[in-house]
Amino acid sequence: MSAPRPFSEGLLLLLLLLLLLFTLTLALDVQMNALYAELPFADDDGGVWKQGWPLTNPRDWTASEPLEVFVVMHSHTDPGWIKTFAAYYHDQVQGILDSTLEACSADARNHFIYAEMSFFSTWWRAASPEQLRAMRTALDRGQFEIVAGGWVMNDEATVHYAAAINQYLTGHEWLWKHVGYKPRSGWAIDPFGHSPTMTYLYAKMQFEHTLIQRVHYAVKKQLARHQQLEFDWRQQWESDADNTDFFTHLMPFYSYDIPHTCGPDPSVCSLFDFSTLGARTPWGGKVVALTDANIGQMAAKYVDQVQKKATLYKTHNRVLVLLGDDFKYTTSRATTDQTVNHNKLHDYINSNPEFHTHIRFATLSQYFDSVREIREDREEAQPASGPYFPVLKGDFFTYADVRQDYWSGFFTSRPFWKLKGRDLEALLRAAEISYAWVTSDLTAEEFAQKDLTRHFPHLLKAREVSGLFQHHDAMTGTSKTHVMDDYGTMLHESLQSANRVLEASVAVLVARDLQAIPTVRVSEAELAAQEIRAGVVFDIAARQEIVFVLFNPASQRRVEVVSIVVNSGQVEMSSSSGEPIPMQLAPFLVGLIPTEGVHRLYFQVTLPALSIARYHLSLALTPLPSTVLPRRIFAVNSAPVHYLGCSSVAEAPAGGVKFSSSHVTARFDPASGLLQAVEHKKMNSPTGMLKLDLVERFQTYANKESGVYLFMPEGTPRVATAATQAYLAMDGPLVSTMVTAIEGYGHRVVNLYHTRSSTLEVVHHTNLHSAFEEFTWVLASSIVSHHELFTDLQGLQMKRSVMRSDRPLGFNFYPVTSQAFIQDLISRFTVHTDHPLAVASLHNGELELLLDRRLLRDDNKGVGQGITDNLPFEQRFLLSFEETPVAAEMNQGARFPSQLSLALNRRHNQPVQILSVESPDFNSDTLFEYRSLLRPLSSVTDQRQLDVVALKVRDPEEHPRELILILFRSLYDLVNPKKVSRQSDRSPPPDEIVQLDIDREFAVWYDVAESQEHSLTLLHPRSPRNASPYLLDPMDLLTLTLTLTPRRPEWTPLDPPLEGTLSEPDRPLFTSILPLPTPPSLPTPSPPTPSTAIPKVAHPVQPKSGLTSTLTTTTTTTAPATTPTYRRPTRPSFPAEDSTPPRHFLHSHHFPLMALATGSTVVALYFLLRYGRGSRFMLYFALLFLSASAVQIAIMFL
């Protein structure tokens, strides 16, 4: 046979190399988007394993290499579901913890795991000293393991990532303070679908692994066929790097209960629940105790099941078997029966080598430790094979457990309570930040004299209640009615407590004289537990003047319009310096009907990041100009309106009502008052506008099969709006408003603010009180989206999904906690929400939002009722319109919000808090305006995009005057890469590491006496003390503990307006008349080393007037060092004090270029060495590849 021609051989080699490089670049085994797009989701009968296939036992284990079986006892305790939290504890949970502790104390072979700190802390407070000693002993021995350790096991569809962090922080702080314990394992067996956001948070907590359960049964089957039930879960923004990989175990069968955990046949596994001796199983068997007569047969059955289960996992000779269920082991008798019989079974199996199986009770971490040993051994033995376990990207929504029952209804169920929970999160955040300021702003003597420590227990209780409501049967709205009411009572009490803390803290912060602290009140009426967002009417007619203190709890500067309700139309608003503030009066509406003598006052505010500002409302001495009143009012099919000399017109213009600002125009249908079209400003064009058809409609679905969990509508939707409807339109100088009646369902308000923002605010006043329907809002646009939908995962990242017309409707609805968008090559349209709900894109260019559900029937998922307790509520949305963004350099196939979207999300989740000064005859000129940061951590044009996730005080008993600061750095899609911040010298590209000099961020008001980086929930130090500047990668979380000492300048003015800020007005609003004090130069601290430590330096603290103090705060500082800047390692570890690893210039997005550069070089050298001498063509070919390699390397360095 003749030799192949060189060119053919070279071409073949080239193709093979490129294929190899492509494979290495992707380096991904499971992509959930692709899996959900292609999987047939068939309902084939798998035999005894109904959702799988008939498993055979290979029996290929040996006596020298037996199958290791880890049996993990657990009890899943919901902090509210069918019973209230208190009833569950007294009826069941106390007995569970008592009996399992007794079992661990009685026999060292027994082990148990437990998760929910809300229950565990209640038990701990009531336990006897003997029980506490026994529990500590069991924990120390490793018999009893705390898994996850959150206050609850939070939901992963409806819970925002910030709330998830806070509830874990609450649990872990309690656990470390009282028990001295640090969890290692995640544990999420009951959330209804799983999000990669949680594994990202687990990694930041320095967990090592996790277990999940509720995944679509067809997905489980697919992964099991390929032994991919254990995997490294990678975040979507990572390309081929393993920086975010987190080891995850997915259970293969239907449930986490005993019949579905030992193997594929539940009729066999159910016989081994010895806590129910004498009971009949659902499969017809009877549970009997083990005896000498039956143990041989029973052992053979059990071994067959666990060996079959082991074949589904790649390790093959390690298998995990859970032994528990909801509220299992409530009595000592049940626990003893279980442990005694299982120990007898284990002893029998272990003593008979022919089983080739070794079995024992264990904890979850003991199983994972064993798997890790196998992984390390096999990767070390075969390094060329790469990672032992597969890599998975994506999420596990939407979940179905059987028969195409899609659990997408709970994304929206009980929206009133979802809103109430989010309101507590927002108010608690504001109270936490203001109280943290007070803690740092006062000396210890001042703090004690004002008895401000009395507020901390109220904060702590509100933290616990907010954490409790993140439970996967609370925020989801999936508990019984009386349980939801019980949650509501706790939420209501915590809202009131947070209000009081906020009021007391702000009063101290704005007072120049601590002997004359004003009384301030939150501008919300005292609400009942089943009321939400009711504003108070300010009696300006009687008081003549009211001072308002506005608190911005966000980490960005804000210029936006806020509103209050007053009882006089003869008013004016001014800043603290006396400058008039742009304002507008409008009638206060109840539906479409104005309330006589009551007015809504809109005014524009400028608030620096994390600041307090003062505004003055007074009676006007001269007639109001027409520029503060509505210009036109249209009352179509509605009662006429006469307001301060302006009368309504009964008919709309022929083309419909049109509202316009400098950045957006909205057009409404003349007959129905519903949206018809939107035009939004084009970037870098003074007059260019992009037109977008945007037709809204409301519709309802019949729901014969839907329930609290399931969304299973019947038939096609019915349009809920008529062709002709009543509406009221008011076009004003500051805000234009369209109020449209949706008969039988409430009304909808659209506000267009005349600011520099391409957004519309939509407020739905929904009252689904009679018909049993599912009520949706559809926004049909002219965007050619190809059925692509982008929804957020717990507010931290975005996911992409594509509508599948061959699946049930519920399959195509996805959870949203903050935003969803669609886009084409021209425009992106985003809906921002202030609460979680379900969203779909069932047709090209459409977004459909499930607003509320009223359900008669139960869906047989355990709660035993429908939803008939609907309450009227108000939900807010922001609609933003942008050019389609240019993907950021690091955007390897993932999508991110734009900078504007990130800012709007903060506006929703961190609203401005409005407080009024209620002290009579108080001299408002003696009030401070207060700011905590030197400059915003984020703005629309700031490429750092840092968000303050939390700023709160630590336990004052354990850590006096110490604060917790958690920051998150977002990635974003670039809408206009040419537009840069005015602070561009401090705004690095979005894919580069940010250095955060924490000393300079607080430089105006504070010195940072001490700082240290920790794991996310403070259990593990991650840096030496005072290692600023701290480094943040994109999509990075940074947790710091801080001790601040105040500088106390006499007066600190607010920032002047900056260009390019969110919602910046078209005209100047407010410029401080006082000079900004220049902060002293701050040295950049270096990591401490033994040779550079210098003595402590005192920082004098000047007390506020009214109190005298000679208190001196001391801090430890260090001399400058020549070592590189400290950078924490990518993977969790505790570096030594003198550890200073160097910075690396390479990031994860460089790895594909590295692979291509290496491949190009290899191919070039091959052709050069083999064919270069005899072929000019091959020589040129080799040089081409060498040039390509050089270009790729240059790109990496540049």
**Which residues are marked as active site?**
190
- The sign of the torsion formed by the CA atoms of 1059, 1064, 1069, 1073 equals negative
**Angle of helix 1151-1171 relative to helix 6-26, nearest 10 degrees?**
170
* 1103 contact partners, CB below 8 Å, separation of at least 6: 443, 445, 446, 1109, 1111
Instruction: Residue 125: count other Cβ atoms within 10 Å of its Cβ.
Output: 8
Tokens at 716, concatenated:
């096609």
CA dist., res. 1167 & res. 10, Å (int): 7
CA dist., res. 98 & res. 25, Å (int): 53
Q: How many CA atoms lie within 13 A of 278 on its CB side?
A: 2
Cα separations in angstroms, 902 against 892, 968, 972? 20, 12, 8
Q: How many CA atoms lie within 13 A of 752 on its CB side?
A: 26
Is the bond preceding 755 in cis, omega lying within 30 degrees of 0?
Answer: no
* 794 contact partners, CB below 8 Å, separation of at least 6: 156, 157, 159, 160, 161, 164, 195, 197, 198, 817
- φ, ψ (nearest 5 deg) of residue 1070: -155, 125
Residue with tokens 């902060």: 1079
CA dist., res. 987 & res. 1035, Å (int): 16
Are 818 and 188 in contact by the 8 Å Cβ rule? The answer is: no
Residue with tokens 């779909």: 840
Cα separations in angstroms, 1033 against 487, 813, 973, 991, 1017? 38, 32, 16, 8, 19
For the chain, the maximum distance between any two Cα atoms, rounded to a whole number of angstroms, is 108
Tokens at 680, concatenated:
């939004």
CA 252 to chain centre: 27
Residue with tokens 């803390």: 501
For residue 408, give the DSSP letter: -
Q: What is the 3-state secondary structure (H, E, C) of 52-101?
A: CCCCCCCCCCCCCCCEEEEEEEEEECCCCCCCCHHHHHHHHHHHHHHHHH
Instruction: Count Cβ neighbours within 10 Å for each residue of 1184-1193 and write b for 16 or more, e otherwise.
Output: ebbebbeebb
Are 1013 and 964 in contact by the 8 Å Cβ rule? The answer is: no
Are 589 and 740 in contact by the 8 Å Cβ rule? The answer is: no
Beta strands 593-607 and 558-566 are antiparallel
CA dist., res. 1046 & res. 447, Å (int): 13
Cα separations in angstroms, 823 against 679, 782, 786, 850? 15, 10, 9, 20
For residue 227, give the DSSP letter: T
For residue 580, give the DSSP letter: B
Instruction: Count Cβ neighbours within 10 Å for each residue of 1041-1078 and write b for 16 or more, e otherwise.
Output: bbbbbbbeeeebbbbebbeebbbbbeeebbebeeeeee
> Which of 1142, 1156, 1143 shows the shortest CA–CA distance to 1195?
1156
Beta bridge partners of 750: 738, 762
> Which of 789, 770, 786, 977 shows the shortest CA–CA distance to 886?
977
Measure the N-to-C terminal CA separation of the chain; round to a whole number of Å: 51
For residue 275, give the DSSP letter: G
